[in-house]
Amino acid sequence: MSAIVAQDVSKTYRGGVQALRGVTIAVEPGEIFGLLGPNGAGKTTLVKILLDLVRPTRGSASILDVSARRPIARRDVGYLPEDHRFPEYNTAESAMHFYGGLSGLGGSALRERTKELLGVVGLAGAAKKKVRGYSKGMKQRLGLAQALIAEPKVLFLDEPTDGVDPIGRAEIRGILERQKELGRTIFLNSHLLSEVEQVCDRVAILRSGEVARSGSIEELTRAELVYTLTTATPLPAEILAELATLAGHVVSARAGPGGVEIGVAKEEAIDHVIDLLRARGVAIRGLVGKRHSLEEVFLESMKSAPRASTGAGREAGAPGGGREAGAPGVPP
């Protein structure tokens, strides 16, 4: 059973704005799944459909094998929207007590849970301070704490590190990794590609309401049949030239700052390269498949035609003007 499913989801708003075009994704239990795309790609629309804040024109969505249209589907969901708002007269404690109460918590259990979570997100020392005096990063930390208040099985996080400094981002990554260890499924919507690359197991990249690319970070960032080979000493020009003569095996061979970058015609051809270098007395120190950054993959996806439908979500021209500010939490 997948934790989150969107099946052939399309959404057309009044006026003919088509935000999603046949999106299909499946997020497995206990994984961190990243949803990427430029403004207007359809990311927020997809999240709202999964939370039943918006109804699809076509297709279906489910959470924990329950139709997203049923209120019970959100019982085990925590949600941190982008640009969320807390009433500024609240303290962190009173805000947590309010949102915990909405989830059916109360008494000493809620007080203990509040104390624990404010410590986890680094707000223990500001628990009794008014939210009006909080920085953007502190509000993000509080938003994450409220999303965790009811110990949800599924977390939807929209730009959770927005406005957070590098140290804070590293701390939040640690929190998310800990939630994954606890078996929680995390659906992460973010523009910070480096953050996504570090924390996510799989991603879907949206473009114009369709999935342009999807897969694991390993799959998407690996450069097929290109290797970086490091040697004890730089390869002399004559050996580089000799590599280029391995017709049918080596496509390209060039020296770079990290070693020698070698493109091969097929996977097993790298063995012929290693055999040649050993025959010439070259000491090999490492061989790794070359990787692209997720940013490079993302930018390339914006040029190429969409393929392998697996994710989506945010509208341009939707009612309310795209991304919306809102209070944290999921409606009952």
Cα–Cα distance, 305 to 170 (Å, whole number): 34
- Range from 9-18, 188-197, 257-266 carrying the lowest mean pLDDT: 257-266
Cα–Cα distance, 237 to 151 (Å, whole number): 60
Q: What per-residue confidence (pLDDT) applies to 330?
A: 45
- φ, ψ of residue 288 in degrees (nearest 5): -135, 150
pLDDT above 80 (res 247): no
- φ, ψ of residue 45 in degrees (nearest 5): -60, -45
Q: What per-residue confidence (pLDDT) applies to 260?
A: 87
Cα–Cα distance, 104 to 204 (Å, whole number): 34
pTM: 0.78
Cα–Cα distance, 272 to 264 (Å, whole number): 10
CA angle 191, 60, 103 (to 5 degrees): 70
Q: What per-residue confidence (pLDDT) applies to 190?
A: 87
**Domain 4-219+295-301, CATH class in plain words:** alpha beta
Q: In the chain, which segments carry CATH 3.40.50.300?
A: 4-219+295-301
pLDDT above 70 (res 15): yes
- 227 falls in which pLDDT band (50, 70, 90)? confident
Strand, helix or coil at 118?
helix
Q: What per-residue confidence (pLDDT) applies to 235?
A: 87
User: Among the residues of 20-151, which ranges form H helices?
Assistant: 43-50, 92-102, 107-120, 136-148
Q: What per-residue confidence (pLDDT) applies to 218?
A: 86
Average pLDDT, the chain: 87
pLDDT tens, 277-291?
A: 999 999 999 988 877
Output the six-digit token pair for 148.
């965790």
Q: What per-residue confidence (pLDDT) applies to 321?
A: 40
- 194 falls in which pLDDT band (50, 70, 90)? confident
Q: What per-residue confidence (pLDDT) applies to 317?
A: 40
State mean pLDDT over 59-71: 97
Residue 286: CB atoms within 10 A of its CB come to 11
pLDDT tens, 83-98?
A: 888 999 999 999 999 9
Q: Are strands 185-189 and 66-67 parallel, antiparallel or unpaired?
A: unpaired
Cα–Cα distance, 58 to 50 (Å, whole number): 13
pLDDT above 60 (res 315): no
